[in-house]
A = this chain, B = another copy of it.
Amino acid sequence: MRDLGPLLRPRIIAVVGASSNLRSPSGKPVRFLRESGADVTVYPVNPVRDEVAGYRAYPDPSALPEAPDVAVVVTPGSAVIPAVEALAERGARAVVVITSGFAEGSGDEGVAAQRRLREIAGEHDMVLLGPNTLGIHDYARGIPLSFVWYGERPIDDSGAVAVVSQSGSGMTSLCDRLLTASVPVGFGVATGNEADLTVVDLLEHFAADDSVRVIVTVFEEIREGARFIEVCRRLRAAGKPLIALKAGRTESGAAMVKSHTGALAGAYPVLRALLRQNGVIEVEDLDEVPPMAAAALLGAYPDSGGIAVVTNSGGAAALAADRADEIGAPLAQLGPETREQVRANLPEFAQGRPVSNPIDVTAQNVKRPRAIAEIAAALVDDPGVGGVLVALASAGGPDGLAWVDRLIELARASPKPIVAVILSGQESEGLRNRLRAGGVPVLSSPAMAVDTLHRLHRFGASRRAAEAAEAMQPIPQDPVPLPDDASEFTTLHWLREYGVPVVEQRLATTPAEAAEAAEAIGFPVAVKICSPDIAHKTEAGGVALDLKTAEEVSAATERVLGAAAGSAPDAVIQGVTVSPMVEATLELISGIHEDPTFGPVVLLGLGGVWAEVLGDVTMRGLPLAHGASEGMVADLQGAALLRGARGRAAADPAALERLVRALARIAADHGDRLQSLDLNPVAITTSGEVVVLDAALFARPPVTPREAR
């Protein structure tokens, strides 16, 4: 891990290109440092002035009286490289290049200049942020390294939240929103063009920084897939939620990213699957970040139980229940003891009725507002409850807001998250502030609160799954070498060695051999041409289905061999394969896909035309947790079909698990050569068996030791 101390905790700061016009972008960094009152040494570098903003200025980096920890570079484009070279020579440990006009839009020259920046940093063991970065905001110590700064507001200096963004406006927008929502932001860092330091470097640093408890990142492209996933895992293990917003998820969004930064966004579905698999809390909009960060700071990540809602607004209760159903967040089933404790706190007219969740204390609550806190306490103690939402309208009463302190106390001691929504009321602003000051997140609506609690739950469940998986020892097995040719027969044979449930298949070179094989297998059978050179067998006349007698098999074999020879005269024909007809009630697809950023992923989806139209496919990266297939099935829109909806047999869960585990082993063994492996179709039979009927393997040629050198 690289040492980012000089960049993020500097004592001596140079600003190269500092303008004496303190309202201009190149004058603002020094001005903000001056106004911040931070206890740091500031050296403006300006070729013609000997003073900037009250600091003594120096004509160039070599003239600095001491080596800076960090230098902020705001010189015009052409002067950047000489400045960075001079800073490196002067012993600067870190550089922030704010100047733009590099790889993001100035053609080959810009790309070359950016590469040179990286070289200089590498040669001098210096870390370099940017170019085209908005810089760094350190709100905990009050140090701006930027031409934008929001430090004039009152700041909670605990610095518990770090923001890491590629785009400058992403960084400033998130810091602005978080500060407005009273969330204690420590750092905001924009990585810009990432000539040297990337989002992943920053995440790695903050993962190890004990003062940071929650990290927010907004990015357009992840360049180092494996390192990124490793950092995500480390954050999950450390119990530090990573909240991620990806820009460029769709075709139009990715096109925008490309024109904006030149970055080629990877395939979003793969990224999304891997974020989810590794416990990253993904959000899709800036508005979702502040509530999510506030709730994540609670540090309570239940891995079981549902959401419990207590409110004095029936409408809010219904809206919370709606959202829970719509996003698949379970509502808690309350235990009998909890129901009794709740009932004791309900108004008289509710005494004769069953207690269920959400709990509506009704407007009658105005007579005894403390009941809300008492009910919340009972809910927290119920093992079926994983999180509590308290939603209130007009919550004052004769006792004032005394009950609020009880709720704050409860939230502090609770191992389960408690969040609040204040719907309205003359006292609402004061109530919100009091709750926030007490550490209870106050969210904007019942729906937002349910979203937030559900995401905390998913983070908790991901942690538990990861712990369980890590506790299991995989059994080491020797790799089965990749087959020499990629015919269906060879590929299925190879898959069988890996334990994949493939259809029985016999190779025959003559009509008589084929008839004999069919007798052994049992009718009806399929006969298919076997050749590594014929990928599209049906089009080549190479397939005959549903053959019911030895005579039909013999005749079909003759026909298939003749057609193949006619349509592909140069193809190597190994013969025909004979296999039983398998009656599928459902067709799946499965296999391995190689992502350019993240490497091989295992996929599972619905097959046939519906799958093509609906795109109902899910993915997992390596290593696969035990029981992964269950989660993969749950991801599919058609999950109910695999679980045996409408009287059909369920797809054998153990067989599905064997299938995806075998694929994971193949990906681990052959990831360096595998381009893709497509199992299509994977039949689910009437009795629920899982049988791979066809497979196509695409591999790169082996790299010989000579070439590898």
Question: Which of A's residues lie within 8 Å of B, judged by CB?
Answer: 25, 100-101, 105-106, 148-150, 152, 165-170, 172-173, 175-177, 218, 220, 245, 247-257, 259-261, 284-287, 312-319, 321-326, 331, 349-350, 353, 356, 358, 360, 362-364, 366, 393-394, 423-426, 428, 444-448, 609-610, 612-614, 637-638, 640-641, 645-646, 648
Say whether B218 contacts A257, CB under 8 Å: no
**A322–B250 touching, CB < 8 Å:** yes
Contact residues in B for A256 (Cβ distance below 8 Å) = 314, 317-318, 321, 358, 360
A315 touches B247 (CB 8 A): yes
**Contact with A249, one of B106, B322, B646 (Cβ below 8 angstroms):** B322
Report Cα–Cα, A319/B287, bound state, in Å: 12
Q: A322-B252, A614-B637 are in contact. Are A169 and B25 (CB under 8 A)?
A: no
Which residues from B are CB-within-8-Å of A252?
A: 321-322, 324-325, 331
CB–CB B257/A314 < 8 A: yes
Q: Which residue of B lies closest to A106 (CB)?
A: B349
A286 vs B318: C-alpha distance when bound (angstroms): 12
17 A-B pairs with CB atoms under 8 Å apart are A101-B349, A166-B315, A168-B363, A169-B313, A169-B394, A169-B424, A172-B424, A175-B424, A253-B318, A255-B321, A256-B318, A256-B321, A284-B323, A286-B423, A286-B444, A609-B646, A612-B646
Residues of B within 8 A of A165 (CB): 315
Q: Are B448 and A287 in contact (CB under 8 A)?
A: yes
Cross-chain contact A326 with B613 (CB below 8 angstroms): no
| Residues of chain B with a CB closer than 8 A to A648's CB | 609
Across the interface, do B645 and A612 meet the contact criterion of CB distance under 8 Å?
Answer: yes
> CA–CA, A312 to B173, complex, Å?
13
A289 to chain B, nearest CB (A): 10
Beta-carbon contact of A251 and B169 below 8 Å: no
Q: Knowing A284-B447, A447-B285, say if A321 contacts B176 (CB, 8 Å).
A: no
Q: Which of B315, B322, B609 contacts A167 (CB 8 A)?
A: B315
5 tightest A-B contacts by CB?
A260-B314, A250-B325, A169-B313, A167-B315, A253-B322
Instruction: Report the Cα distance A610→B608, complex, angstroms.
Output: 11
Contact for A169 among B170, B315, B610, CB less than 8 A: B315
Contact B424 A285 (CB under 8 A): no
Additional 19 contacts, C-beta under 8 A, given A106-B349, A247-B318: A148-B394, A165-B315, A167-B313, A167-B314, A168-B363, A172-B425, A173-B313, A176-B424, A177-B424, A220-B315, A248-B321, A253-B322, A256-B318, A259-B353, A260-B318, A260-B360, A285-B323, A285-B447, A609-B646
Query: Shortest Cβ distance from A170 into chain B, in angstroms?
Result: 4
B172 touches A318 (CB 8 A): no
A667 to B: closest C-beta gap in Å: 29
Interchain CA distance A287-B447 in the complex, whole Å: 9
Closest residue of chain B to A100 (Cβ to Cβ) is B363
Main secondary structure of the interface of A (DSSP, over half): helix
Contact A610 B612 (CB under 8 A): no
- Taking the closest CB of chain B, its distance from the CB of A634, in whole angstroms, is 14
Cβ contacts under 8 Å, A612 to chain B:
645-646
A349 and B105 within 8 A (CB): yes
Please indicate the chain B residues that have their CB under 8 angstroms from the CB of A25 in the complex: 366
* Chain B, residue nearest A152 (CB): B426
Determine whether the beta carbon of B285 is less than 8 Å from that of A445.
yes
A121 CA to B26 CA, complexed, in Å: 73
Q: A245 contacts which chain B residues (CB < 8 A)? A: 319
Contact of A253 among B313, B321, B356 (CB under 8 A): B321
What CA separation (Å) do A533 and B526 show in the bound complex?
Answer: 44
A177 to B363, CA, bound (A): 20
Say whether A172 contacts B323, CB under 8 Å: no
**Which residues of chain B have C-beta atoms less than 8 A from A220's C-beta?**
315, 318
Inter-subunit contact A613/B317 (CB<8 Å): no
Q: Considering residues A319, A323, A394, A637, which has the most beta carbons from chain B within 10 angstroms of its beta carbon?
A: A319
The closest CB in chain B to the CB of A354 belongs to B259
For A110, the closest partner residue in chain B by CB is: B349
Task: For A322, list chain B residues within 8 Å (CB).
Answer: 247-250, 252-253, 284
Whether the pair B259, A356 counts as a contact (CB closer than 8 A) is: yes
Which of A326, A424, A447, A613 has most B Cβ within 10 Å?
Answer: A424
Smallest CB gap from A285: residue in B: B447
Q: Could you tell me the distance between the alpha carbons of A329 and B135 in the complex, rounded to whole angstroms? A: 35
Please name all residues of chain B whose beta carbon is closer than 8 Å to the beta carbon of A150 when the two chains form the complex: 424, 426
A220 vs B318: C-alpha distance when bound (angstroms): 9
Please measure, in the bound complex, the distance between the C-alpha atom of A614 and the C-alpha atom of B615, giving whole angstroms.
Answer: 13
